[in-house]
Structure 1
Amino acid sequence: MSHTLNTLIATMEAEHWDAILVTDPKHVYYITGFACDPHERFLGIVLAKGQEPVLIVPALDADKAAAISSITRIATHLDTDNPYDILKQQLPDTIKTFGLEKAHMTVQRYESLQAVVQAEQYADIGAVLQSLRVIKSEEEIERLQAAVDCIETVLDNVVRRVRIGMTEAEVVADLEYEMKKQGAEGPSFSTMVLAGDNSALPHGVPGQRVIQAGDLLLFDLGVYLNGYASDITRTFAVGEISDELKEIYNTVLAANEAAIAAVRPGITYASLDQTARQVITDKGYGPYFSHRLGHGLGIDVHEYPSIHDQNEALLEPGHVFTIEPGVYVQGKGGVRIEDDVVVTKEGVRVLTSYPKQLTIIG
């Protein structure tokens, strides 16, 4: 039985809960190794006192679940079934407290659940899952490294094909085609390629903007590979750029490198954000760094922790997150440089290795 499953069962017993239901497909994968997109269909892991764990899956996924899942007791439902009736069959007759993922529970699902379960109260298991996910195992770190290696190969291959006159959307299409060629399951978020003044939009949307000489060209992209995400940002110069844009680039690079150098167990996430932000502020660009320093990375591309100047949580070995300072000057351009890092006992391991010196393309 997996460590996560054992921890959930131990929590259920310690808190005197009668049962637990895990429904987020990513958590089902995390616990069982079985990956499934059930769409609107019901998917869940049921834990109940004194009973063997059971995985409930749509009937059309039964064979795959049986072949892959670490939970061997599997129940299925057809499209014509009420899956909550199937769920009730796996539960005690009387439930006082039922643990579930409140963040994944819509009102509609809750009403369907309560109609058959009629628990007296519901407890949130989100914090337990979060505490387990934040410490990555060596196997998880290697999967993250593979996802990083994949996206860096994608970026390197496509950057070589970028030319003046191409649109942002054309480059995005090439990147996502290359992701599939390199074996990725798909992008880990909406691929971002922003040229010129569009690069000053931290969450801009690629479109028909044509790449021109003198532009900054920002790439923010990642893939899912074997269920784990990568996330990298690099900013390039298209031909010769202004001295001001060069200064912005070097400022962001210095902030990125200062934050990475500061990573070690025992410091706060707040101090890490402040380290990078101070470098940017000292150069006069403080107001133009408008977002947090980074975010956790794992089976979700954005997960706990959030790296901002109010987070007093301490870094621990096994934490994996991004470091991505940026400066965005409207009407001129923006620079973001993002790396994926792991906290180690000694300090830091940087998963990303794509060069960060200012590179001219096009």
Structure 2
Amino acid sequence: MSDQFQTRLNTLIQNLEEQQVDMAIVNSPKNVFYYTGFNSEPFERFMALVIDVRKGTNYLFVPALDQEDAEKSSNVKSIVPISDELNPYKILKDTIGKDVKSIGLETKNVSIYQQEQLNHYFSSFSYQNIGEFISGQRIRKTPEECNKVQYAVHVIEKVLSEGIKSVKAGMTELELTAEFEFLMRKFGAEGPSFSTTVLSGEKSSLPHGSPDGKKMNNGDFLLIDMGVIVDGYCSDITRTFIIGEETAEQRRIYDVVLKATKEGVLAAKAGVLAGSVDTAARNVIKANGYGQYFNNRVGHGLGMEVHEEPSIHEKNEMMLEPGFLFTIEPGIYIPGFGGVRIEENVYIEEDGNAKVLTTFPTELIRIG
């Protein structure tokens, strides 16, 4: 595995040399993980992979409390621990030296405070955005990375299968959320990959709603959107159930979303525009008169983070390529009535075809 981290890092360094960057600072935690194998969330503390291109030296700056962990798991062996009372940017300058004319930065991940510190310690430099190059590297998942996502999918589907057995009318959304999150740990996940979404009845019309003390009732849609992190990789699955028996209108909406999801999956293959996957799913919803109730993109990239490149929206003219891994999750959300979302995870294989990683049934299941 360490070879894989080194290969990724070498590719980045080659690009930095071509761009004539003197030093690069990679400071988003998942990108640090991508290049070094050290996976940590530093919160407000400074953590960065620092590449001194001039001298051919790489450093991993970490909070002092992470030093032992970093020494065990990082592929970059020059670890610079920073204790809480020290200024990390001063240590950065003392380590790298001066005369840095060009700094590579992930501009989406640099705050004004960080920029002020760099300006103070490295007085006259220009910067280049290296974030897009890194995204371009990460967007192409190897089969090994796909296997890791596939395993995270396997775990969340096990959690879903087991967890819905406990659903009954009168249970609250938070009680079911707690059951799911207990099962995630029990089945070997590091934790949820995002806040678990359990929405019932009218609340299922809120694409990003939060579970609360609302009780589930017979006749409610039950929308469950959740994922786990296992070995640093994420899954993300949504299924919508009915508690008790559905009405004709609920059945109609469900069937339209199911057809939209299937059409989105069929459209996904190498050589087509990312936007065409969104369009294929959206057209089904529009043709059935529900277009106004689906107003977000159809999917997003999935990997070390639960939302990454590519963004699968109808205006995205990026060409899908082997190695892309993303969600397809159309929905219909009707205020005051409820909503349905069905989400699959797909991977574009070497032959250009899409492999569906999610296997949990998509037909409407009655529970409770």
User: Normalising to structure 2: TM-score of the pair?
Assistant: 0.96
- Name the residue aligned to 2:41: 37
Among 338, 352, 359, the alignment partner of 2:358 is 352
- Say which SS state the counterpart of residue 90 (structure 1) adopts: helix
Contact 1:100 1:124 in 2 (8 A): yes
SS in structure 1 opposite 2:127?
A: strand
Structure 1 residue 12 corresponds to structure 2 residue 16: yes
What CA distance in whole angstroms lies between the structure 2 residues aligned with 1:244 and 1:273? 24
Give the alignment of 1:21-100 within 5 angstroms: 21-48=25-52, 49-100=54-105
**Pair 1:277 & 2:274 matched:** no
In structure 2, stretches of 5+ residues that fail to align are none
CA separation in 2, counterparts of 1:113 and 1:226?
A: 34
Q: Is the 8 A contact 1:46 1:90 kept in 2?
A: no
Say whether the 8 Å CA contact 2:192–2:226 is kept in structure 1: yes
CA contact (8 A) 2:321 2:352 kept: no
Q: Which residue of 1 aligns with 2:267?
A: 262
1:303 maps to 308
Superposition RMSD on alpha carbons, in Å?
A: 1.2
Deviation at 1:10, TM superposition (A): 1.0
The residue that corresponds to 1:293 in the other structure is: 298
Shift of 1:51: 2.8
Q: Could you tell me how far 1:260 is from its partner in structure 2?
A: 0.7
Partner of 2:177: 172
| Aligned mates of 1:90, 1:305 — CA distance in 2 | 36
2:200 is aligned with 1:192: no
Which range moved further: 245-254 or 81-90? 81-90
* Matches of 1:309 and 1:39, distance apart in 2: 34
Equivalent-residue separation in structure 1 for 2:224 and 2:354 (angstroms): 24
Q: Which amino acid aligns with 1:26?
A: K
Shift of 1:306: 0.9
1:150 matched residue in structure 2: 155
% identical equivalent positions: 45
2 CA distance for matches of 1:139 and 1:114? 40
* Bigger shift: residues 10-19 or 231-240: 10-19
Separation in 2, partners of 1:85, 1:229: 35
**Contact 1:98/1:119, CA 8 A, preserved across alignment:** no
Q: Tell me the CA shift for residue 113 of structure 1.
A: 2.1
Quote how far apart the aligned CAs of 1:92 are: 4.1
> Any stretches of 5+ residues in structure 1 without a counterpart?
none
Matching residue of 2:128: 123
Instruction: State the 1:346 CA deviation.
Output: 3.8
Which residue in 2 is equivalent to 1:325?
A: 330
How many pairs are equivalent? 362
Q: Per-residue CA shift, 1:325-351, capped at 9, x if unaligned?
A: 101112221100001100122411111
Amino acid at match of 2:28: D
Question: Is 2:328 the partner of 1:361?
Answer: no
Offset at residue 206 of structure 1 (A): 1.2
- 1:213–1:238 contact (8 Å) kept in structure 2: yes
Take 1:340 and 1:346, find their aligned partners in 2: how far apart are those partners?
16
> Contact 2:26–2:48 at 8 Å: present in 1 too?
yes
- What does residue 106 of structure 2 align with? 101
Query: How far apart in 1 are the matches of 2:31 and 2:156?
Result: 24
SS in 2 for 1:306: strand
Q: Distance in 1 between matches of 2:81 and 2:335?
A: 54
- How many angstroms does 1:64 deviate by? 1.3
**2-side partners of 1:95 and 1:117: how far apart?**
7
Instruction: State which of 134, 139, 163 in structure 1 corresponds to 2:139.
Output: 134
Give a deviation string over 1:26-75, Cα, whole Å, max 9, x none. Answer: 11111111111222221111111123211111222112111111111111
Q: Secondary structure at the match of 2:347?
A: strand
Q: Which range is displaced more, 87-96 or 121-130? A: 87-96
Pair 1:237 & 2:242 matched:
yes
Q: Distance in 2 between matches of 1:310 and 1:346?
A: 22
Aligned-pair distance for 1:135? 0.1
Deviation at 1:80, TM superposition (A): 2.1
List structure 1 runs of 4+ shifted beyond 3 angstroms.
none
Distance 1:94 1:262 in 2: 51
Give the TM-score taking structure 1 as reference length: 0.97
Alignment partners' CA distance in 2, 1:120 and 1:29: 27
Q: Is the 8 A contact 1:288 1:327 kept in 2?
A: yes
Equivalent residue for 1:3, pick from 4, 7, 19: 7
